[in-house]
Amino acid sequence: MTASRKNVLVTGASSGIGEATARRLAAAGHRVLVGARRTGRLAALAKELRDAGGTVHHRELDVCDLGSFRAFAASALTEFGGIDVLVNNAGVMPLSPVADLRVDDWNRMIDVNLRGVLHGIAAVLPAMREQGGGQIINISSVSGHRVDPTAAVYSATKFAVAALSEGLRQESRDIRVTVVSPGFTHSELTHQGGNPDVRSAVRAAAEQLAIPASAIAEAIAFAVDQPADVDVNELVVRPTAQG
Ligand code: NDP
């Protein structure tokens, strides 16, 4: 059991890194509220973790909808009485060359990966300010540090998350801001969307190299468990063999 039990919100917890993070933090004794659109998966996860002794609630969440995010945060305040950590993890990656002009995919990446993170900040910041502290962990990517063909828009959203996080960090004296940037990680990220040829190529590369989602959850848990005056600003976690 962890020394300091925190109230943690995890978005995109119905699969991949979000699910692994909920598992890791619940096992450490933190109270966890998990959100995503696939509520059946969330309910099963929450039940499994509660059966193992954790304090875990779930709630439907669409990060593109500010009202949905505000209701998600409000339910954490009701269930737990406060919000200590938000893990802004939900994301999508429908890759394609810019010349494909898949404008709907571009907009979806902006809506989920960037606007969703902003909605999360808007939903929790007032409660964190009022209680005099908190932590916002934004999941970026190695693609938030470098740009590759077919990932221009995805990278743009992740670079934006890095810029936003740095600005928020500079403006905050009591809120810890952390960016975690994964490399290839086993998840469902490459399962749908984008240019089908690009998707199969990236999926094949990911399957060869990827590290388990639990490796990213471990980095997130490390940042959460630091004392209030220690802000881990940035962690890049990728497979050793990733170029
Ligand atoms: P997954 O596809 O496994 O998980 C993505 C999660 O986001 C799902 O739980 C999905 O839930 C949720 N999500 C998508 N859209 C919404 C929405 N509108 N509202 C709420 N939740 C939503 O992929 P990962 O676990 O890999 O992705 C997690 C994060 O990690 C993303 O930000 C991604 O960009 C980042 N990342 C991943 C890497 C990797 O190699 N896997 C590498 C670098 C970064 P649901 O569909 O149920 O709503």
Q: What is the pLDDT of residue 243?
A: 87
Q: 91 alpha carbon to ligand 1 midpoint, in Å?
A: 4
CATH number of the domain located at residue range(s) 7-184+213-237 in this protein: 3.40.50.720
Percent of the chain residues topping a pLDDT of 70: 99
Does ligand 1 lie within 6 Å of residue 188's CB atom? yes
Please state the rounded mean pLDDT for residues 166-179. Answer: 98
Q: Which two tokens stand for residue 216?
A: 């990213």
pLDDT tens digits, residue range 200-209? 999 999 989 9
Does ligand 1 lie within 6 Å of residue 21's CB atom? no
Q: Where along the chain do its domains lie?
A: 7-184+213-237
pTM beyond 0.95:
yes
Q: What is the pLDDT of residue 82?
A: 97
pLDDT over 90 at 117, yes or no: yes
Ligand 1 nearest atom to the CA of residue 68, by list position: 19
Does ligand 1 lie within 6 Å of residue 182's CB atom? yes
pLDDT tens digits, residue range 18-55? 999 999 999 999 999 999 999 999 999 999 999 999 99
Does ligand 1 lie within 6 Å of residue 155's CB atom? no
Residue 234 backbone zone (phi > 0: left; psi -120 to 50: alpha; other: beta): beta
C-alpha to C-alpha distance for 77 and 28, rounded to whole angstroms: 20
Q: Which two tokens stand for residue 12?
A: 């995109």
pLDDT over 80 at 121, yes or no: yes
Q: Which two tokens stand for residue 32?
A: 């966890």
Any catalytic annotation for residue 74?
A: no
Catalytic residue among 106, 154, 159, 184: 154
Nearest CA to ligand 1 atom 44: 141
Q: What is the pLDDT of residue 67?
A: 98
Q: What is the pLDDT of residue 135?
A: 98
pLDDT tens digits, residue range 210-230? 999 999 999 999 999 999 999
Does ligand 1 lie within 6 Å of residue 157's CB atom? no
Q: 52 alpha carbon to ligand 1 midpoint, in Å?
A: 25
Q: What is the pLDDT of residue 3?
A: 54
Nearest CA to ligand 1 atom 17: 62
pLDDT over 70 at 2, yes or no: no
Residues paired with residue 31 on neighbouring β-strands, in sequence order: 7, 55
What's the whole-number average pLDDT of the chain? 97
Residue in the structure block whose two tokens are 């902003």: 118
pLDDT category of residue 1 using cuts at 50, 70 and 90 = very low
